[in-house]
Amino acid sequence: MSRASWCSKRKPRAPASARPERLPVAARRQADGTDATRAAVAPATLRLLSCNILAGASIARYRQYFTRGLTQVLPGPGKQANLDRLADLVAQFDLVGLQEADAGSLRSGFLNQTQYLAQAAGMPYWSDQPNRRVAQLARSANGLLSRMAPREVLDYPLPGRIPGRGALLARYGAEAAGLTVLVAHLSLGPKARARQLDFIAELLQGRGATVLMGDLNCAWPGPELQRVFARTQLQPPDDALPTYPSWRPRRAIDHILVSDGIEVLRRWTPPQAFSDHLPLAIEMRLPRLPPRA
């Protein structure tokens, strides 16, 4: 475990294709916990989004994994346009979890995509967790964008035979009345996923209001997520929405799971496809919330 850096937005070096009006966003001071320890505000709602963005690549058919193979490892104007479209959606939410964002490598034009999306969408706080690096070609990362200042952000590597998976945990508000949000991208193999889900369950045990979001690579209904439901206050969703593949969704492998006591007002998949996964969104109500920035 390590303490992840939580960043106020800073202006990234944007490629020429970026929209100029989006870049000059006033910098916020780095979150040091002061804002997050103020008294919680009255009951309100939060909108959450989770999205596997495939480093900005757009895939609309299975065959494109092969026919567009070079676009997976090379930058291009299509990726930038895709990120700009995603930023329009991100701007409608309070907390956003990203998976397969690129933290700055050849395939993204050495752009930190989490930072860029935070800036373009006007999100005051962002953090990323690079997990797997392939030379200078790719740096896969989890990301978290937020309108609220966190008390702390922690970076956990997940167990697995092949390293390169992680969980990014952020805590908001006072301990008793706060919110814990964990963003994760789990392995493809069921044995590795089982170990990772056990690890996540241990991390989330005994916490108050909790959200687990990300590409968990396992469907609900199904036995795998029971490992988490049995050991935490997280509840099975009333409706598991299919998100993969984005062009004909059949599998509900992307999830936003909330603990008992959090009221889910709405759960939906925005129709825009930004990668091979559809985004997943919820609107939820907490009894008490940390203050918004």
Whole-angstrom Cα distance, residue 256 to residue 158?
Answer: 19
Residue 108 binned pLDDT confidence (cut-offs 50, 70, 90): confident
- Average pLDDT of the chain to the nearest whole number: 82
Q: How far apart (Å, rounded) are the C-alpha atoms in residues 127 and 161?
A: 26
User: Is the Cβ–Cβ distance between 98 and 266 less than 8 Å?
Assistant: no
pLDDT confidence tier of residue 285, bands split at 50, 70 and 90: very high
Q: pLDDT class for 106, splitting at 50, 70, 90? A: confident
Chain center to CA of 263 = 20
Region 77-101 average pLDDT: 94
- Tell me: pLDDT of 238 over 70: yes
Q: What is the residue whose two structure tokens read 């979150």?
A: 31
pLDDT for residue 2: 62
Q: Provide the pairing of β-strand 95-102 with 138-146.
A: antiparallel
- Average pLDDT in the 104-129 region? 94
Confidence of residue 143 (pLDDT cuts 50, 70, 90): very high
Helix (H) or strand (E) holding 275: none
CATH superfamily, with its number, for domain 2-9+40-286 = Endonuclease/exonuclease/phosphatase (3.60.10.10)
Q: Are 127 and 144 in contact (CB under 8 A)?
A: yes
Question: Average pLDDT of 13-34?
Answer: 30
**What integer pLDDT is reported at residue 14 of this predicted model?**
35
* From 80-89, 127-136, 155-164, 181-190, the region with the lowest mean pLDDT: 127-136
Give the residue among 18, 113, 52 at the shortest CA–CA distance from 280: 52
Q: What is the pLDDT of residue 24?
A: 24
Count of other CB atoms within 10 angstroms of residue 47: 16
Torsion 193-197-200-202 (CA) sign: negative
The DSSP symbol for 74 reads S
Which DSSP state fits 262? -
d(CA 194, CA 200): 10
**Partners of residue 284 on adjacent β-strands:** 46, 264
Low-confidence winner among 112-116, 122-126, 214-218, 237-241 (lowest mean pLDDT): 237-241
Q: Is the peptide bond before 270 cis (omega within 30 degrees of 0)?
A: no
Check residue 287 and give its pLDDT: 74
- pLDDT tens across 160-211, in order? 988 899 999 999 987 667 899 999 999 999 999 999 999 999 999 989 899 9
At 42-74, the pLDDT tens digits run: 347 999 999 999 988 877 655 555 555 545 555
Mean pLDDT of 217-230: 94
Count Cβ neighbours within 10 Å for each residue of 75-101 and write b for 16 or more, e otherwise.
bbeebbebbbebbebbeebbbbbbbbb
Domain ranges within the chain, ordered by starting residue: 2-9+40-286
Confidence band, pLDDT 50/70/90 cuts, at residue 9: very low
What's the burial of 177, exposed, middle or buried (CB within 10 Å: 0-12/13-18/19+)? middle
**Which residue in this structure is represented by tokens 């925005």?**
270
pTM, entire model: 0.83
